[in-house]
A and B are shown apart, each in its own frame.
Chain A
Amino acid sequence: QSALTQPASVSGSPGQSITISCTGTSSDVGDYNYVSWYQQHPGKAPKLIIYDVSKWPSGVSNRFSGSKSGNTASLTISGLQAEDEADYYCSSYTSSNTWVFGGGTELTVL
């Protein structure tokens, strides 16, 4: 199972919106609405911020939103804040009853 494809880095200024893409195949992202997004600050464990493509776990800001079209899922962060600077990973459940992660995207808040 190949990793999902994410851009290596994105950047934005405070208050702006950014979008991170996550491209898979018809055996993972395209086949299920089971895409999740995780935020990871340096030296910390990942934290779930979006699941089932667009659902929020309890306590997560609605500045984070998710969507999917075909084999590509997207995470949008609106009203960018300095604390959003982190690495972001997508993952998808697959037709093989396994999971696959994206390579990760480093977000820089300018």
Chain B
Amino acid sequence: EVQLVESGGGLVQPGRSLRLSCTASGFTFGDYAMSWVRQAPGKGLEWVGFIRSKAYGGTTQYAASVKGRFTISRDDSKSIAYLQMNSLKTEDTAVYYCTRVGPYGGHLDTTFDYWGQGTLVTVSS
């Protein structure tokens, strides 16, 4: 069974940093791209960014709203994806979901087929 478990959320002041982790199980983590999606309170879903598998260079892409502030990385040996968030703003307050980009485990993967339960990040002074 595929499972994604996020951790690391909490209350942080504007301008500070926070790192989220996503621990995966139930599939060959290294074969898949991983992505982060967020949802501000009472709002819709917003794609944050993703990291390709090592087979496709392990490169990253980000939404314009977080580019230059957020960094996604992965540790395939531990089956963990990370979201490093720097220079946080109040508008970054949201539930952050970790997702697997699937469903094939290859270059045709373009959907978020499994989601974690989310972790809440609150940016406030």
Q: Please give the residue numbers on chain A whose beta carbons come within 8 Å of chain B beta carbons, in ascending order.
A: 1, 3, 32, 34, 36, 38, 45-48, 51-52, 57, 89, 91, 93, 96-104
Residues from chain B with a CB closer than 8 A to the CB of A99 are 35, 47, 50, 110, 112
Asked if residues B47 and A45 are in contact (CB atoms below 8 Å), the reply is no
> Distance in Å from the Cβ of B98 to the closest Cβ of chain A?
10
Contact of A48 among B62, B97, B112 (CB under 8 A): B112
> What per-residue 1/0 map shows which CB atoms of B46-83 lie under 8 Å from chain A?
11001000000000011110000000000000000000
Interface size class of B (residues with CB under 8 A): 20 to 34
A36 CA / B117 CA spacing, docked (Å): 19
In the complex, the answer to whether B61 meets A91 with C-beta atoms within 8 Å is no
Q: Closest B residue to A6 by CB, please name it.
A: B44
Q: What residue in chain A is nearest B59 (Cβ atoms)?
A: A97
Give chain B residues whose Cβ lies under 8 Å from the Cβ of A48.
111-115
In contact, B115 and A91 (Cβ under 8 angstroms): no
Q: List 23 A-B contacts (CB under 8 A).
A: A1-B64, A3-B44, A34-B111, A38-B45, A38-B112, A45-B97, A46-B112, A47-B115, A48-B111, A48-B115, A51-B110, A51-B113, A57-B103, A57-B113, A89-B45, A93-B110, A96-B61, A99-B47, A99-B50, A101-B37, A101-B44, A101-B45, A104-B44
The interface residues of chain A lying within 8 Å CB-to-CB of B46 are 101
| Most chain A CB within a 10 A radius of its CB, from B44, B62, B97, B103 | B44
Check if A89 sits within 8 Å of B97, measured CB to CB.
no
